[in-house]
Amino acid sequence: MENRLKQWIPAVDWLSSYKKLDLQGDLTAGITTAVMLIPQAMAYAMLAGLPPVIGLYASMVPLLVYALLGTSRQLAVGPVAMVALLVSSGIGGLVTDGNVARYIALTVLLTLLVGVIQFGMGLLRVGFLTNFLSHPVISGFTSAAALIIGFSQLKHLVGLNLPRTQNVLQLLGSVFEQIEAINHITLAISIGCILFLIVLKKINPLLPAALLAVALSSLITWGLDLVDKGVMIVAEVPAGLPPFVVPELSLVELKTLLPVALTISIVGFIESVAIAKQIAAEKFYEIDPNKELVALGLANIMGAFFKAMPVTGGFSRTAVNKNAGAKTGLSGMVTAAIVAFALLYLTPLLYYLPQATLGAIIVVAVFGLVDLREIRHLWIVKKDDLALLLITFLVTFGIGVMEGIFTGIFLSMAWFIVKTTRPHYAILGKLPGKADYRNVERHTTESTGTVLVIRFDAQFYYGNVTFLKETLKKVERERETPMAAVVIDASSINQLDSSADSALHEIIGSYQHRNVGFYFANVKGPVLDVMKRSGFYEKLGNNCCYMNIHEAVLAAQG
């Protein structure tokens, strides 16, 4: 019974073996993360186009659910900038009349839909599908989205009424049109907060820089009566715990929200698992991606019943949580409890909080997501991956966030197909004085005479059989020495499907008709099993299959 509970509720595992020594670390991490989360959650809600309190609602119930069901012990779940931007892009176009109640209702429905999708993906154990989204694509998307997020805060940073759009050029144009109307006090608060946050982060990343910025800017705004001078503030934040609400279901709205829900489900999961895996490796334990999907899914489903926006694991908060000493999911429960306390008793203190401060918090938080180091790295290491990064970046930045991520997914899968249908191959030669064979383009080798030795570095399947045939013909045409035999090094061939097996029958038939020998070496067990079942092994006779290349070459030469 206990093992079954551990399987479905991972918290049972760490609760049953909880050590008193871990309590101090969990309490410290929970408090530290909460101090960082409260202003961030409000800022990300504002980025999503929602009242700041919705970000606080999203920082309670989802955290408790994930703490019980998540397999990562340090992951800090809550609102994040990327998901907030996707919420804004998905719902901003549906609510253009400023109807806040409808905007919130659609966001709650979106949270529910994201949760159902992630939960379903977890039950179907399809977490591996996100592996098709390559790192260069993620980097390109993240960098572009970070810039869009940063520019989207211009209206709060300069105190102008700017249109809701992801088009950066349109935003900049609107700023220049109204440049004389910029509120200089608001701009000064923005610049001061940005510099304050950067300096404190360099001094000590564990300092509650965002909370200190919130406190100082609120005091200054109240003390100098800056509201009368045009500084926009958060104003009243509803006190009390989030109300229980049943999301309003509408088939038409569900269909409309499905694309953005799919995008948030994938992007949120990737962001969450990426940081969770990294920390799990450092702490010497394993996470289960499919259980992570279930945990995140249920966190969003339950959050939807308490007016939450979609949540996932965040990079910066998770790093702070880990560095502050988090040992188990109890740290997340402590964070949720402190957010609840803030909602009950501290919301009046947020009345004079400038919106410019929240904008500055967002700008500083996303600044580090622009990955220039990856661009330099790929320029040196792999230029075709750099092309994937740049295309994803340009589509995301120039057209839209959802278009960018789906373009990235398509490009990742298309490039994977291209690479498997046109795999790397090498013509091999014998190393002088040795019975070893290496790529003739990379090593000094001896000629194998009339024997062609070739290696294909991929499985043989229907997608690359034509490439196999054409490559053998091309190599034979380009040889200066007439070819009397072919030796295929099968050490890199892990699989052989029926189409490839049929192609091999055709190839050997053609070579036998021309009295050209055909030999295999280093054939793996699963591939050999297919050859035997299909009759290819019997057709090739003694030429199938040699234990190493040298034996096959000697047989071919003999």
Closest CA to 97 of 49, 152, 160: 49
- For the chain, the domains span 2-414, 425-557
Assess whether pLDDT exceeds 80 at residue 391: yes
122-136, 260-274, 291-305, 455-469: range with highest mean pLDDT: 291-305
Q: Extract the tokens encoding 288.
A: 């289960």
Q: How confident is the model at residue 300 (pLDDT cuts 50, 70, 90)?
A: very high
**Residue 96 buriedness (CB in 10 A; 0-12 / 13-18 / 19+):** exposed
What's the longest Cα–Cα distance across the chain?
98
Structure tokens at 94: 């549906």
pLDDT in tens, 26-67: 999 999 899 889 999 999 999 999 999 999 999 999 999 999
Instruction: Decide: 98 and 345 in contact? Cβ < 8 Å.
Output: no
- What are the Cα distances from residue 2, in Å, to 9, 73, 409? 10, 19, 40
Backbone phi and psi for residue 56, each to the nearest 5 degrees, phi listed first: -70, -40
Under the banding of pLDDT at 50, 70 and 90, the label for residue 293 is very high
Contact 429, 438 (CB under 8 A): yes
d(CA 83, CA 304): 15
Per-residue pLDDT of 128-142, as tens digits, reads 766 667 778 888 888
Which of 117-121, 151-155, 213-217 has the least mean pLDDT? 151-155
- Average pLDDT (331-342) is 96
d(C-alpha 287, C-alpha 280), whole Å: 7
pLDDT recorded at residue 131: 67
Name the pLDDT band for 2 (thresholds 50, 70, 90).
Answer: low
Read out DSSP for 34-79?
Answer: HHHHHHHHHHHHHHTTS-HHHHHHTTTHHHHHHHHH-S-SS--EE-
The per-residue pLDDT for range 361-388, each reduced to its tens digit, is 988 888 777 878 888 888 888 888 888 8
Question: SS3 of 521, please?
Answer: strand
CATH classification code of 425-557: 3.30.750.24
